[in-house]
Amino acid sequence: MPKNLLRIEFDNGEHLDVLPNLFDTRNFERAMRNNRQWGELRDNGMRLQAFRGWSAASRLGLIELTWEQFYEDPHTPVLSVSPAPEDETEDDDGLEVDGLGEDTLTDQPTTS
């Protein structure tokens, strides 16, 4: 599972997992420049994560909410945007191959 995967949870119990890319981060930087009242980047960690999730979901056509509906509206259907949970059944790199290494000897006798 990609390390940067974000999970968007909705109030109806559904969720979306999205993978933001450079375009989504660039969109956030552009929005920050256009909305100086947001303040500095260091004060916008939660907004950055939410924006990247919203931008990725919008780019992929998974949601039709505007940014204001997604984040600014007190009646938003979005409960949270957070890193997607790690799948415990996958190995770290996702590179496990069934059967690979099954016949490999683990302890080989050494003679001197």
Q: What is the CA radius of gyration of the chain?
A: 21
Answer whether residue 104 is part of any domain: no
Lowest mean pLDDT among 1-5, 25-29, 43-47, 73-77: 1-5
- pLDDT for 34 equals 96
- pLDDT for 25 equals 95
Kindly list the distances between the CA atom of residue 36 and the CA atoms of 31, 83, 92, 101, in Å, as whole numbers in the listed order: 9, 27, 39, 56
Answer whether residue 50 is part of any domain: yes
Answer whether residue 99 is part of any domain: no
Mean pLDDT of 55-82: 97
- What is this structure's pTM? 0.74
Is residue 2 very low, low, confident or very high in pLDDT (cuts 50, 70, 90)?
A: confident
Count of structural domains within the chain: 1
Is residue 28 very low, low, confident or very high in pLDDT (cuts 50, 70, 90)?
A: very high
Domain hosting residue 59, numbered range? 6-83
Answer whether residue 54 is part of any domain: yes
